[in-house]
Every structure is written in structure tokens, then in C-alpha cells.
């Protein structure tokens, strides 16, 4: 996921738009697993300031997630923005190294995508999830297991009423 900035060094404008299309498929990134359903399209621009580069871009892709209730696959579209500074010399925090004329976008791009992933993805808002007793998908079939779905607040009330 690299862009080449040698053109910026010779040119006088100091500005370079770019478009990258990456077919990633699956990636393991710091123990986070990402499964892409479509290419990652990055549209952005690079600004050169002396020995630094500022890259800004928009990311568009689609990833595959697992519903946190019923474990089915969900196609989750991603639209994310990122901004990343690169430097050829001194390394500060948050600044990545510009390797000769090459800027590697993997870290800012993947980290921006990870930020867009919901903590508890759901296939649909009203997903019924799996039956805790028999494990069948309650969206697909109503199993005959009996569930004691009593609101804990109601239980307290019931206890109080029984005491009297
Ligand atoms: Zn679900
Ligand atoms: Zn069941």
C-alpha cells in the first residue's frame, strides 16, 4: 500500500493527488483480523513541506464481520478519512518514516478502518441471536426450548409481593 513521491521532489507544485486500489483479501494487523469483501480504494493527496509529507485521504471498502448475536456474516461498508505525516529525517511521535521516495499507507489506512468497526456488530437491529439452550439460530426457526425471560427488576418485585 505504497505511494511514490519522487514526482513531488522535481515538480514545483508540492502537491500530488493519488488514487490507490488494493486487493487485500485478509489481513492480520496487530492481532486484529480483517476480511475484505471488496478492494480498498484510497483517494487522496500528498503535500510536501520541506522534508515532510502530509497525506490525507478517503478510504472506501467493504469488510465482512460476524454478527455478535447469531454469528452470521455481515457485509459492512466502510468510509473513512485519514491524515498522516511522514518525515525523511527526525522521527517524532505520530510521524512515520518516508523511505526514500516511498510512503507506506498501510498503518494509517488499516487503523482508520479498524476505528470504523462497531464493537458489537449486528446483522439486523432486531436479531434474535442463537438459542442459549440448543444453539439454533432463532431468526431462522423457533426452537421449542423454554426460556425464562423474566426481567430482573420484575423478579425483585415478585419476591416482595410474595413476602407479604
Ligand atoms: Zn444476527
Ligand atoms: Zn433452543
- Tell me what pLDDT residue 149 has: 60
Instruction: Indicate whether 45 and 123 sit together in one domain.
Output: yes
Instruction: Indicate whether 59 and 117 sit together in one domain.
Output: yes
- Going from the Cα of 82 to the center of ligand 2, the distance in angstroms, rounded, reads 45
pTM for this one?
0.77
Give the best-scoring range by mean pLDDT among 12-26, 87-101, 105-119: 105-119
In terms of residue numbers, what domain contains 103? 2-127
Instruction: Indicate whether 63 and 134 sit together in one domain.
Output: no
pLDDT tens-digit readout, 144-159: 887 666 566 666 777 7
- Going from the Cα of 22 to the center of ligand 1, the distance in angstroms, rounded, reads 29
- Going from the Cα of 115 to the center of ligand 2, the distance in angstroms, rounded, reads 35
Instruction: Indicate whether 36 and 94 sit together in one domain.
Output: yes
β-sheet bridge partners, residue 65: 74
- Residue 134, helix vs strand vs coil: coil
pLDDT tens-digit readout, 52-70: 889 999 999 999 999 999 9
Instruction: Indicate whether 61 and 102 sit together in one domain.
Output: yes
Give the ligand whose atoms come closest to the C-alpha of residue 136: 2
Residue 37 C-alpha cell reads as 469483501
Instruction: Indicate whether 110 and 138 sit together in one domain.
Output: no
Alpha-carbon distance 19 to 29, whole Å?
23
Instruction: Indicate whether 122 and 141 sit together in one domain.
Output: no
- Tell me what pLDDT residue 93 has: 76
Alpha-carbon distance 146 to 131, whole Å?
10
Instruction: Indicate whether 7 and 63 sit together in one domain.
Output: yes
Instruction: Indicate whether 123 and 143 sit together in one domain.
Output: no
Instruction: Indicate whether 137 and 85 sit together in one domain.
Output: no
Instruction: Indicate whether 83 and 135 sit together in one domain.
Output: no
In the chain, helix, strand, coil percent, each to 5? 15, 40, 40
Q: How many CB atoms lie within 10 A of CB 110?
A: 20
Residue 136 C-alpha cell reads as 439454533
- Going from the Cα of 145 to the center of ligand 2, the distance in angstroms, rounded, reads 4
- Going from the Cα of 112 to the center of ligand 1, the distance in angstroms, rounded, reads 25
Give the ligand whose atoms come closest to the C-alpha of residue 128: 1
- Tell me what pLDDT residue 72 has: 94
Instruction: Indicate whether 98 and 152 sit together in one domain.
Output: no
When divided into structural domains, the chain yields a total of 2
Amino acid at each position: 500500500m505504497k505511494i511514490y513521491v519522487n514526482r513531488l521532489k522535481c515538480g514545483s507544485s508540492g502537491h500530488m493527488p493519488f488514487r490507490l486500489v488494493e486487493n487485500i483479501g485478509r489481513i492480520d494487523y496487530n492481532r486484529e483480523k480483517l476480511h475484505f469483501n471488496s478492494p480498498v480504494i484510497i483517494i487522496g493527496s500528498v503535500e510536501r513541506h520541506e522534508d515532510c509529507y502530509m497525506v490525507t485521504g478517503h478510504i472506501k471498502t467493504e469488510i465482512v464481520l460476524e454478527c455478535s448475536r447469531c454469528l452470521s456474516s455481515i457485509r459492512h461498508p466502510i468510509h473513512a478519512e485519514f491524515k498522516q505525516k511522514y518525515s525523511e529525517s527526525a522521527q517524532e511521535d505520530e510521524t512515520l518514516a518516508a523511505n526514500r521516495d516511498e510512503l507506506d499507507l498501510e498503518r494509517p489506512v488499516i487503523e482508520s478502518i479498524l476505528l470504523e468497526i462497531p464493537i458489537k456488530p449486528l446483522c439486523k437491529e432486531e436479531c434474535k441471536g442463537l438459542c442459549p439452550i440448543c444453539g439454533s439460530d432463532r431468526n431462522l426457526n423457533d426452537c421449542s426450548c423454554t426460556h425464562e425471560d423474566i426481567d430482573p427488576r420484575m423478579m425483585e418485585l415478585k419476591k416482595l409481593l410474595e413476602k407479604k
